[in-house]
Amino acid sequence: MRATLLLDALTELLEDDSDKLLAGDILGTANSKEIADAIGAFCVRRLDSPVKKCLYAGFSVGASFGLALEDGRQVFMKIHKLTGPETITANTALSLAASSTVQKHLAESGFPCPEVLLMPEAFGSGIVTVDAYAAPGELQDAHKPEIRKAMAETLAELIARTRPFRSLPGLIPGSFCASGTLFPVPHNALFDFTKEYEGSEWIDAIAGSAKAEVQANRSPGNLALGHVDWSVKHFRFENGKAVMIYDWDSLKLEDELHLVGLAAATFPTTWDIPVLLTPSREESGLFVREYEAARGKPFTSRELATISAAATYVMSYVARCELAINPNNERYEGSFRQALQAMNGDRYIVW
C-alpha cells in the first residue's frame, strides 16, 4: 500500500462492503472521518505526535494501521474487539496484556517480533496495542522446503522461549476444540456459521470426528505458549531465515500438539503472493517432523495422531469459513474444501 493520508486510505478502504462490515463490528463505526479522528487524537495524546501518513490499513480480526508520525517514528496500531471464550480468537484486556508482556520479552531477547511501544489500553469499546512498524525482509512461499523448515524450527524455538511465561496471569488455557458447539464463533463478522449452507454436511462430519479425537486426548500437563496463526502471511524472511513475525495477539496457551497441528495445517497460507493456500498432506507431515527434530524429543504414535486430528479440525474450520463467503462453492480450486475433499481417509496427515 502506498503511503497516503489516513482519511484518504480509510475512505478508499471503506468503499468495500466487507471492510465496512468489519469496521462497524470492530470499531462501532464505518465512518472514515470518525475513525481517522479517533486514531489521530490517540496518537497526539499517547504518542505525542500527530499522524503524517498511513502506511497500511486493513480489517480482519482487528483493525490494523501502519502509521508514519510527524516526528519521524513509524508505528503499528491494532484495535481489538473484546471477545469471549466461545470465539476462536478470544481476547480480553488481561489476555492482551499478557501477550504484550511476552512479546516485549521476546523482542528484547532477540526473537523476530516487533518492539512493543505501549502496553494495551482502552480504545473506544475495544483495546489498542501499539508496536514499532517493522518491515524487514520479504514474504516468501512456504511451499519451499527451506521456508517450511525455518517456520517449523522457529515455532519450536518460540515454545521453548515462552516456557517461563506459561503461568502469567491473563492467559486463558486450552480453548482449542473446547467450544460446546461443533465450531467456535468465527474470527470475524464475515463468517456466519448459524446459517445453513448446502454442502456443509461432509465438512461438519470430518470436523466432528477430528474434534472428538482431540478432546479425548486433551492433556492439561502439555500446555505450551505458542502462536495459533503460524501462517506465512505473518512472516518476513531474509536468506531463508525468519526476520520478523507479526500478529502477537495470537499468542495463546494451548496443548503443544494442538499448536503443532494448527501450524501444520495452515503454514503456507497467504493471499499476498500467488501461492497455493493449503499444504499437501506430505508437506504437513514434513512440517511436523521438522518441528519434532527441532524440539529434540520424538512424538509418540498417539501424539502424532492427535496432531493430525488437530490439523484436520482446523482445516475443516477454514473450509466452513470459505463456504460462508462462497455459498455456491465458488473459488473451490486450491481451497481448503478441495484439500479435504481430496484426502483419502478421515485425517489429513497420515503417518
Q: Look up the CATH number of the domain holding residue 204.
A: 3.90.1200
Q: By the 8 A CB rule, do 25 and 111 touch?
A: no
Is this prediction's pTM over 0.85?
Answer: yes
Backbone angles phi, psi at 318, to 5 degrees: -65, -40
Report the C-alpha gap between 324 and 327 in whole angstroms.
Answer: 6
Question: Do 119 and 155 share a domain, yes or no?
Answer: no
Domain boundary among 132, 159, 179: 132
Question: Do 149 and 122 share a domain, yes or no?
Answer: no
Report the C-alpha gap between 351 and 282 in whole angstroms.
Answer: 10
Question: Do 113 and 185 share a domain, yes or no?
Answer: no
Percent of the chain topping pLDDT 90 = 85
Sign, CA dihedral 255-128-14-1, equals: negative
Question: Do 173 and 260 share a domain, yes or no?
Answer: yes
Which domain, by its residues, includes 78?
Answer: 6-132
Question: Do 110 and 220 share a domain, yes or no?
Answer: no
Angle at which helices 301-325 and 201-216 pack, to 10 degrees?
150
Alpha-helical runs (H) found in 162-280: 201-216, 256-266
Please compute the mean of the pLDDT values over residues 99-119 and round it to a whole number: 98
Domain boundary among 80, 99, 132: 132
Please compute the mean of the pLDDT values over residues 5-15 and round it to a whole number: 96
Query: What is the per-residue pLDDT for 83?
Result: 86
Question: Do 91 and 221 share a domain, yes or no?
Answer: no
Please compute the mean of the pLDDT values over residues 311-335 and round it to a whole number: 93
The CATH number of residue 66's host domain is: 3.30.200.20
Number of domains in the chain: 2
Please compute the mean of the pLDDT values over residues 282-301 and round it to a whole number: 99
Confidence of residue 2 (pLDDT cuts 50, 70, 90): low
Reduce the DSSP state of residue 346 to 3 states and report it: coil
Within-domain flag for 349: no
Domain boundary among 111, 132, 153: 132
207, pLDDT greater than 80: yes
Confidence of residue 136 (pLDDT cuts 50, 70, 90): very high
Angle at which helices 301-325 and 256-266 pack, to 10 degrees?
50
Question: Do 182 and 320 share a domain, yes or no?
Answer: yes
Residue 15's closest CA among 32, 2, 3?
32
Query: What is the per-residue pLDDT for 1?
Result: 58
Within-domain flag for 350: no
Percent of the chain topping pLDDT 70 = 99
Q: By the 8 A CB rule, do 234 and 76 touch?
A: no
Which set of grid coordinates corresponds to residue 309? 486430528
Residue 12's closest CA among 59, 50, 51?
59
Least confident of 15-24, 98-107, 209-218, 326-335: 326-335
Question: Do 124 and 216 share a domain, yes or no?
Answer: no
Question: Do 50 and 93 share a domain, yes or no?
Answer: yes
178, pLDDT greater than 70: yes
Question: Do 107 and 187 share a domain, yes or no?
Answer: no
Please compute the mean of the pLDDT values over residues 53-70 and round it to a whole number: 96
Which DSSP helix (H) or strand (E) runs through 170?
none
